[in-house]
Every structure is written in C-alpha cells, then in structure tokens.
Amino acid sequence: MCGIVGAIAERNIAPVLLESLKKLEYRGYDSAGLATIENKTIVIKKECGKIDEVDQKVNLKDQKGNIGLAHTRWSTCGSVTKENAHPHQDCTKNIAIVHNGIIENHSELRAQLTHKGHTFTSDTDTEVIAHLIEENNQGNIVQAIAKTLKQLEGSYALGIIEADNPHQLIAARKESPLIIGLGEKENFIASDAPAILKQTNKVIYLDNEEIAVLTIDEVEIFDLDGNKKEKEIETIEWDSEKAGKQAYEHFMLKEIHEQSSTIAKTLEQNIEDNIDLKEVKRIIIVACGTSWHAGLVGEFMIEELAKIPVEVEYASEFRYRDPIIEENTLIVPISQSGETADTLAALKEARTKGAKILSIVNVKGSSIERESDAVLYTKAGPEIGVASTKAFTAQLTVLYLLTLHLGKLKNTLPKDQIANRVRDLRKIPLQIEQAIEETQHIKKLAKLFYKKHHALYLGRGINYPIALEGALKLKEVSYIHAEGYPAAEMKHGPIALIDEQMPVIAIATKDDRTYKKVISNIEEVTARGGVVIAIATKGDEEIAKKVDHVIYIPENSYILTPLLATIPLQLFAYYIATLRNHDPDKPKNLAKSVTVE
Ligand code: F6R
C-alpha cells in the first residue's frame, strides 16, 4: 500500500529514484510524485496515473538535486487527485514528506492545526504530519519529528527532506515497512528491497518507532526519545536481475513460469531445526487472500497425514473476536509479504494469549518474520505481480514439508511412507514444467471465453481451495465475476445460475475419493446446458467425452494435486486478462502488500 523511496548521494538522484519507484509500483499506482532539493528549494512534481504516465506528463527524471523522495500511491485517505498525490508539504514549504500507512487521528490533528492557522492543500492524513512537524519545529528537525510521531495514532513509514538542511534525509516507521540501503557515498530508504537492490544489497531493517538520519556518509538510528541505537547490517541475497521482468511480457507470466525452480528451492529446506513441535495439539492458521487459500490446503494435508486438528481463519476476523487459544496451540500465520496488517495483528493477538508462533513468509526481514518464534521460508524470491502465483505454490510446498515433519513427530507416518511422499514432492518441479506446456491450448480457451461476464470454479476435497484460488485469480486480473465453490454445494444454490453464458471450470483429477463425485457434479452442469472446462489427469480420455474442453495436468499423489491444478488456472486468468487489455501486474484498486486494515 503505497511505495516510498528516498536517497541522498553525490550524483543527481531523480533518475535513480524513478527507476527504484517503478520496482515498487506493485504497492499502488493511482498517482506518483517526486521531490528533490535544488539550491535550498524543494521542487515537487506529481500527477495522477501510473508512474510511466506521470513521468510522461511531468518529466520526473529531469529534476535536479542529490537528495530526494519519491512515492507511488494506493489511496486510503483522500480520493485520487493530483493534490492528494505525495510528496506533501507544510505551510512554509520547508519540508517535503512521503508516507505509507494510515494516521487514525488525522481529523482531530487537522482541526487543531487549522485552528492554529495552518492551511491545507489536500485531504490526506500525510499532509497533517507535514504541518505538525512544522508546528513542533524549534530549530531541530529530528526532535520535531520525534515529538510529532508521539502524537500520531496509526501506522507510518515516512521519508522527510528539509530545504534548510539538504545534507540529511530522515526516515521513520511504525507498523509499515521501511528499509535503509547502505551504498558507497550514498544511502537509501525504501518500502521494500527490490527497489534498491540495483544500488546495494546491504540493508538495515528499521523497527517500530525508530528514526533514521541519513547523510551521504552515514546512517544513524534513534528512538523517539533521541537515544542512539546500534543496528545490525544485513545482506540481502535476492539479486536485482531476478527481480526484473527479463523476456516476459509481464511479471505475472514470468512468475508462473518460475514455479518449477521456486518449488525446487523451497523443498530443499530442513524443518527439523526450527521449533519444537512435539507437544502441539491444535493448529490455527491465520492469513488473508491467496495465503488463506494455501492455509485451507494445509488444513487438509495436516489433518489427513499428521492427525492434528487445524482451523484456518481469515486474519481480519480472528483479530476482532475473542479466539480460544489453549495450551499447546500453535499459530501459523502465512504471508508472502510478511507485512499484511491483519495477519500481523492476528499474530500479536494470539501471542498475548500465550500461543507459539510459527510463520510461513516469503520476504526476509519482514514484520511477521520478526514477530514470530520461528519461521519457515517460502523461497519464491521477489514476487512483483500483484496477483500471487509462485508464492502460493511455495506456501503449499512448505505446508507439505511441515505436514511430513509433524507426521514423523506424531508417529502418524512411517519412515518409508515419508520417503515415498518426499519422492512424490520432488517430481513436482518437472511436472509443473509439463503443466506449463499446455499454454497454447490454454491460450485458445482464453480466446473462447474472454468476453464472458461470469465464471464458476468447482473443486472437492483438497482441490476445493484451488477452485477458490482459480476464481480469485480470474477476478483480480480480468475483472470477470467468478466464484469458487465446493462442487457438491453447487446444487444448493449456484446451479440456478448455470447456462451457456457461464463457463464452469471443474477440477476433476483422477483419484479414488472425489473423482466420481465431481464427474456427477459435472453432469449436473452439462444437463442444464452449462459449458465445462475440466482440469483432469493426463491419460483420462473418458472425461473428454463428458465435458466441452479438457486441460490435462500430470499425475501425482492426490494430496499434491493442488500444486499442479493451480498452474492452468493461473495461466487461464493471465491470458484472459491480457485479451481484455488489462495489465495483470497492476490490477485496478489492488495493492500487493496490504499494510492497512
Ligand atoms: C491475491 C493476493 C492477495 C494476497 C493477500 C495476502 O492474488 O495476492 O490476496 O494473498 O493480500 O498477502 P500476503 O500473503 O502478503 O499476506
């Protein structure tokens, strides 16, 4: 939700900021802006639109100066207008500020500041911060910022520059992510690592209620009472080339294609050394969106093989009720970004009730990682496309590894069975490549269906969450209304919607549990004139006689089919979105990292 970058250097900084900002566009893209200091004057250019559109309109990269800030916005407070785009300033135009987060007491503060004579030019909570710093400034900007931060309620990651002092850039954070990048005679701030990886891979993770003061030569960190803090410098392993689009037209397509290698990397990890799980009697998975779907698959895996009861909760719901957490309950937050506000809040709620936290995250150094007792990493690398693809299948891989580990600890899985199951898992990377070979066929199907207005996704058992995920992918990148349903539930309502205008995508992989039942559900659809695309197991010729179209995936054990069935659904959503001329990497209204409630 909003991306911020800032830098202080010896070189002209606008082109660097612009390039870095584009790497953060997945966080929001309704408007963008850039500020630099030229001859002790702050120069700001900002406009509505995606970063490239804004650059074309106002030529962001031509700004001069060796200190600056840039921002790409996902609006929360105030509509999408040029006035509401960041950076924002105080009355005297002495400071410029970029912000990611939400200030909850902005209305009260705005009223007090207006009463004191401050004039506002936008509807944003961010501008309130700029005026409050101005109000608190007695000549020492760092002290003024610290005082201001104590008056704010809510979340913030901030970058601040001051015309009077063009030799320092100031940053602060609370509940919204911010990292400091350390270069040679230059230093950076950014919401996320991919933005600065081309410049440096040495970073400091700023913690809550810390203020960083950056000059060309050094970075100093303070708490809000002005005490200096020592911080660890960490090295990020992701490389900037991998974070680029390479030959693919979109990040989403690149990330779909990467899944065989990201799963291969993810499955190499050893779960044993992480946390003692012997006493665990109950597991609660908390997550949002696609990560929540991964949790539903995890519930199936863990209950089936490790025989531990699992509940899967929307993090946003969990945090606002009074969940019962008994002794030996393990909380498993799942999050690609590691920054999702609701998941983080659910984790904290569970911890106050005494639960142990084992997180599954993709982004190292993220808030969820740092708040957890132990972490299992999805090794998907930077996921830039807003719609989650490779992080999802990496989450499924980690959940399966965790299941096998729990099965071993609880003696529900004999050694030889574990070895066989690991062998099956190791087949997945190659099988994903085989599933991707269906691309031309999937493209043809996308051409047949891209003008439809609705779609229904059906699955049963472990593939029911994959029906939910397929529907979510189509919705978010193509804007076609889609619903995922457990196949048998269809006749309790949605069957009323079936006609030739509503394609039904049914996951009907061959197994001895649900296959026949799903076939019956498919027949209920075709009997009513519905058009069915089946996701089926390679070699199943019979199903082709029963449905209109089939997409085949390779055969593996039932419990691993979600990892394969997901692939054609991702590709289908991607090609439909591009046929409808939508940018799948930046769906409207969405942001990759949802750091507000
Ligand atoms: C959908 C999608 C979102 C995220 C959700 C949680 O494609 O990407 O639904 O899954 O916002 O995000 P993380 O996993 O970062 O907590």
Task: Specify the amino acid at residue 173.
Answer: R
Q: Has 229 been annotated as catalytic? A: no
State which CATH number among 3.30.565.10, 3.40.980.10, 3.60.20.10, 3.30.1320.10 fits the domain covering 3-235.
Answer: 3.60.20.10
Instruction: Give the C-alpha separation, 418 to 195, whole Å.
Output: 41
Q: Where in the chain is the domain with CATH 3.40.50.10490?
A: 244-433, 437-586
Residue minimizing CA distance to atom 3 of ligand 1:
289
Instruction: Give the C-alpha separation, 306 to 98, whole Å.
Output: 48
> pTM of this prediction?
0.78
Place of tokens 């999805």: 378
Instruction: Give the C-alpha separation, 571 to 478, whole Å.
Output: 12
Kindly list the distances between the CA atom of residue 343 and the CA atoms of 15, 304, 331, 332, 348, in Å, as whole numbers in the listed order: 35, 25, 11, 10, 9
Is the CB–ligand 1 distance for residue 94 below 6 Å? Answer: no
545 backbone dihedrals φ, ψ, rounded to 5°: -80, -20
Closest-lying ligand 1 atom to the alpha carbon of residue 389: 7
* pLDDT surpasses 90 at 78: no
Our measurement of the distance from residue 360's CA atom to the centroid of its chain's CA atoms, rounded to an integer in Å, reads: 13
Task: Tell how strand 234-235 and strand 228-229 pair up.
Answer: unpaired
Helices 390-409 and 561-579 cross at an angle (nearest 10°) of 170
Is the CB–ligand 1 distance for residue 476 below 6 Å? Answer: yes
Instruction: Give the C-alpha separation, 586 to 242, whole Å.
Output: 19
Mind giving me the DSSP string for 414-459? -HHHHHHHHHHHHHHHHHHHHHHTTHHHHHHHHHHHTT-SEEEEEE
Is the CB–ligand 1 distance for residue 395 below 6 Å? Answer: no
Is the CB–ligand 1 distance for residue 288 below 6 Å? Answer: yes
Sign of CA dihedral 509, 511, 514, 517: positive
Count other C-beta atoms under 10 Å from residue 119's C-beta: 9
pLDDT at 446: 97
Instruction: Give the C-alpha separation, 52 to 56, whole Å.
Output: 6
Closest-lying ligand 1 atom to the alpha carbon of residue 287: 16
Q: What is the mean pLDDT of the chain?
A: 93
Helix, strand or coil for residue 3?
strand
Residue minimizing CA distance to atom 9 of ligand 1:
289
Q: What is the pLDDT of residues 539-555, one digit of tens each?
A: 999 999 999 999 999 99
pLDDT at 273: 64
Is the CB–ligand 1 distance for residue 126 below 6 Å? Answer: no
φ/ψ bin of 518: left (φ > 0), alpha (ψ from -120 to 50), beta (otherwise): alpha
First to last CA, the chain: 11
Residue 289 C-alpha to ligand 1 middle, in angstroms? 5
Helix, strand or coil for residue 373?
coil
- CATH code of the domain made up of 244-433: 3.40.50.10490
Strand order in the sheet with 481-486: 481-486, 454-459, 504-508, 532-537, 549-553
What's the full length of the chain, in residues? 597
Instruction: Give the C-alpha separation, 237 to 97, whole Å.
Output: 30
455 close to 479: Cβ distance less than 8 angstroms? no
Task: Please name every residue paired with 6 in a beta bridge, in sequence order, or none if there are none.
Answer: 69, 189
Residue 591 C-alpha to ligand 1 middle, in angstroms? 9
Task: Please name every residue paired with 377 in a beta bridge, in sequence order, or none if there are none.
Answer: 361
* pLDDT surpasses 80 at 85: yes
Residue minimizing CA distance to atom 7 of ligand 1:
387
What contacts 320, CB < 8 A, 6 or more positions away?
none
- Taking residues 346-373, report their average pLDDT: 93
- Taking residues 358-376, report their average pLDDT: 93
Residue 395 C-alpha to ligand 1 middle, in angstroms? 12
Is the CB–ligand 1 distance for residue 387 below 6 Å? Answer: yes
* pLDDT surpasses 80 at 241: no
DSSP label at 103? B
Q: What is the pLDDT of residues 304-328, one digit of tens each?
A: 999 999 999 999 999 888 889 988 9
* pLDDT surpasses 90 at 591: no
CB environment 486-514: b (16+ within 10 A), e (fewer): bbbebeeebbeebeeebbbbbbbbbbeeb
What contacts 321, CB < 8 A, 6 or more positions away?
none
Task: Specify the amino acid at residue 549.
Answer: H
- Taking residues 106-116, report their average pLDDT: 97
Q: Where in the chain is the domain with CATH 3.60.20.10?
A: 3-235
Place of tokens 């953060």: 24
Residue minimizing CA distance to atom 11 of ligand 1:
289
Closest-lying ligand 1 atom to the alpha carbon of residue 473: 7
For the chain, give the percent of residues with pLDDT over 70.
97
Instruction: Give the C-alpha separation, 153 to 161, whole Å.
Output: 22
Instruction: Give the C-alpha separation, 575 to 572, whole Å.
Output: 5
Residue 220 C-alpha to ligand 1 middle, in angstroms? 34
Question: Is the domain 437-586 a CATH 3.30.750.200 member?
Answer: no
Residue 120 C-alpha to ligand 1 middle, in angstroms? 35
Of residues 593 and 209, which shows the higher confidence score?
209
Q: Has 2 been annotated as catalytic? A: yes
540 close to 486: Cβ distance less than 8 angstroms? no
Residue minimizing CA distance to atom 10 of ligand 1:
290
DSSP label at 523? H
> Which residue in 44, 65, 68, 64 sits closest to 54, CA to CA?
44
Catalytic entry in 50, 390, 586, 592: 592
